[in-house]
Structure 1
Amino acid sequence: MTSDRDLEGRVALVSGSSRNIGRAIALELAQAGAAVAVHVRDSVEAGAAVVAEIEAAGGKSVLVRGDVADPQAVDAIVAAASDALGGLDILVNNAAIRRETAFADLAYAEWREVMAIILDGAYLLTRAALPMLARSGAGAVVNIGGLSAHTGAAGRAHVVAAKAGLVGLTRALAIEFADRAITVNCVAPGMIATARLAATTGGEPAHHKDHQPPVGRRGQPEDVARLVRYLAGPSARYLTGQTIHANGGLFLA
């Protein structure tokens, strides 16, 4: 059974954690006792609000800023988090952009932008964090995938490909990191009620409009966050290389 403070004394970095699922994950890990590095690229004010919320509840947090698609920036992100909080035990690769563009109109630059943030970002962050995760003795990497990586979706070839890539990366690293006591898992959220910004994501995904989970509601960011907390904690040390779906029964793996 998971205790209320099962992550006490551990340090986590959550990429893209100023809002929505990332924010919920940062708050959940902090509630469990972890010191949390809240990462943003541009949303400094929103990220600072998450840090303030954690600290107001008695937790320890720091804001780190940088582009996860930039190798030098990623090294600085991980170093800043580790220096401020005293190491790194948990990495959550959540940063993503989720645009909709018909494949015939999908420019290579947009393809690369999505790939760079979702898949390259997870590679870069995990590579930079690896020495500290290995020193942890109970390191955990949780990649945030997506339902469409398993069902497909029109107008989202770049997002689907990138998220599917995270599944493959999860499996490969779970095998490679096992002898360093690092677990690597992927959480694939389904239809989660998040505040999507039309300017950056195109608003509500078209494939959401015609579907409803069997449980009769969309998930909340906290539904995903609680699963991430479990995977990062001591009760999940025998669980690695898995993709776990949180979708209210919309897709049965």
Structure 2
Amino acid sequence: MTGRLEGLAVLITGTGGGIGRATALACAREGAHVVGCDLNPGPSEETVALVRAAGGTMDAVAPVDLSTPEGAAAWVEEAAALAGGVDVLVNNASAIRFGAIDVLSYEDWSFTMRNELDIVFLVTRAAWPHLVARGGGSVVNVASITATRGAWFMPQNAHGAAKGGVLALTYQLVVEGGAHGIRVNAVSPAMTQTPHTTPMLEDPDGPAEQILSRVPLRRWGQPEDVANAILFLASPESSHVSGANIPVDGGAAVVG
């Protein structure tokens, strides 16, 4: 371990796989005590086992429903007790439902808002007093390039609106956190190859090739690509960075 997060208590939501798992591994490798959570106990336990096998320190709680005030507060309190406080919060967990504007039900819209935007508010609100008590810290929110542009290959109105809200909340919290030494930033991935997206990316009749043609680096993002950006924003190396939104998209955000 090189110790970029040595001794820090890092809370990460949604650590059962994908970006959350990669971030847990990266932060633990740098000396953090990671506490994760997930809806699914099996994948959550796998991540903990991977971190510990690599010599890192990690605990996790599952199942946890962060979309309720009670669930979010209970996890943060348990995580802070396990890690001895909160220095870094990574809001990664999300759940999405898709559909065109004339098809998507209000129930599916509300589900997406609750599980992509509300959980960021609820978890951050619960962790905020711990960060203030610590004398500062870092919050990293996982947004999306759909927060700032439309997705042409499938309808993502609820997802884009929710992630746009995540960015707006990020910017407001920069102002509210500054006096307390709390930095708040975001990362915005484009298409990233995870267990959830792999079936679509490997479908010969799917939109994968068309999507890839609009990525200047001509490769899919990997969870580790996003985790490395999160690691930078979590670490003291970014001590004067607050209010940044880092695209992790192979250059896709600048393509017309």
The TM tier, using the shorter chain, reads over 0.9
CA drift of 1:242 comes to: 1.4
Shift in Å at residue 197 of structure 1?
Answer: 6.7
Contact 2:98 2:155 in 1 (8 A): yes
**Could you tell me whether the CA contact under 8 Å between 1:191 and 1:208 is conserved in 2?**
no
Task: Say what the alpha-carbon RMSD is for the aligned residues.
Answer: 2.0
Residue 50 of structure 2 corresponds to 53
**Aligned residue in 2 for 1:44:** 41
Tell whether the 8 Å contact from 2:96 to 2:115 is kept in structure 1 after alignment: no
Distance 1:130-1:140 versus aligned 2 partners, 3 A rule: same
Matches of 1:81 and 1:168 in 2, distance apart?
A: 26
After superposition, the Cα gap between the structure-2 partners of 1:214 and 1:148, relative to the gap in structure 1 and judged at 3 Å, is: same
Match status 1:86 vs 2:88: no
The 2-side partners of 1:252 and 1:114 are apart by 26
Report the counterpart of residue 6 of structure 1 in structure 2: 4
Aligned counterpart for 2:110 among listed residues 109, 112, 126: 112
**Matching residue of 1:219:** 221
2:161 matched to which residue of 1?
A: 161
> How many residue pairs align between the two structures?
247
The answer to whether the 8 A contact 2:96-2:116 is kept is no
Per mean C-alpha deviation after superposition, the further-off stretch among 136-145 and 180-189 is 136-145
Q: Once the 2 structures are TM-superposed, how far is the Cα of residue 136 of structure 1 from its aligned partner?
A: 2.2
Q: Give the drift of 1:31.
A: 0.7
Does the 8 Å contact 2:93/2:116 carry over to 1?
Answer: yes
Question: Hey, what's the Cα distance between the residues in 2 that align with 1:98 and 1:107?
Answer: 13
Paired residue for 2:249?
A: 247
16 and 150 in structure 1: CA distance in 2 versus 1, 3 angstrom threshold? same
Deviation of 1:69 after TM superposition, in Å, equals 0.6
For 2:136 and 2:238, locate their aligned partners in 1 and report how far apart those are by CA, in whole Å.
10
Q: 1:208 and 1:150, CA in 2 relative to 1: closer, same or farther beyond 3 A? A: farther
Letter in 1 for 2:124: T
Gaps in structure 1 of 5+ consecutive residues: none
Letter in 2 for 1:238: H
By how many angstroms is 1:152 displaced? 1.0
CA deviation vs aligned residue, 1:17-38 (integer Å, no higher than 9, x gap): 1001111011111111111112
TM-score normalised to structure 2 length: 0.91
Secondary structure, counterpart of 1:123 in structure 2: helix
| Sequence identity percentage | 36
Shift of 1:137: 2.6
Instruction: Measure the CA separation in 2 of the matches of 1:124 and 1:203.
Output: 31
Runs of 4+ displaced beyond 3 Å: 202-209
- How far 1:185 sits from its partner (Å)? 0.3
Hey, what does 1:183 align to over in structure 2?
Answer: 183
What SS does the corresponding residue of 1:251 show, helix, strand or coil? helix
Once residues 166 and 173 of structure 1 are traced to their aligned partners in structure 2, the CA distance between those partners, rounded to angstroms, is 10
Structure 2 unaligned blocks of 5 or more? none
Distance (Å, rounded) in 2 between the aligned partners of 1:120 and 1:187: 18
Task: Indicate the SS of the match to 1:55.
Answer: helix
**Aligned residues of 2:193 and 2:220 also touching (Cα < 8 A):** yes
